[in-house]
Amino acid sequence: MIDSNIATKEDVNFLPKIIGVILGIRYSTETATLLGCEIDRKNQEACAVYKTPRGLYFCTVKTKKWPSGKIMAIDEQLAIKYYGDMYIKCVEFSEAFPDMEIQDA
């Protein structure tokens, strides 16, 4: 079950809308799936992790230093870490990382 902390339309609108080209690959918040986010309206800060239609991951950060946002390509392991750290989960873990096998400790 998805965490009860669901991203509202207001939350999603607060996140920066970014298109960036990194090493010849275009990343866009408009075409990617939002996996999770963390928003601090008081300090005008936000971070989010996304998955592209091709299965690549990236994150965005919005801070006072980068009010328009910054985009960074990340690997799956870092995406899993960031997803786990996010207060707001937008999709189930199994949807975000379908190839990840979950094992008992």
Within-domain flag for 18: yes
Instruction: Examine residue 105 and state whether it is found in any structural domain, yes or no.
Output: no
Range of the domain at 36: 9-93
- pLDDT tens for each residue of 61-74: 988 888 888 999 99
In a domain, 27, yes or no: yes
Q: How confident is the model at residue 97 (pLDDT cuts 50, 70, 90)?
A: very high
Instruction: Kindly report the pTM of this predicted structure.
Output: 0.86
Number of domains in the chain: 1
- Residue 2 within a domain: no
Indicate whether 3 belongs to any domain.
no
Q: Is residue 49 part of a domain?
A: yes
How does the average pLDDT of the chain come out, rounded?
87
**Which of 32, 36, 31 is closest to 47 using CA atoms?**
36
Give the 3-state secondary structure of 22-85: ECCEEEECCCCEEEEEEEECCCCEEEEEEECCCCCEEEEEECCCCCCCEEEEECHHHHHHHHHH
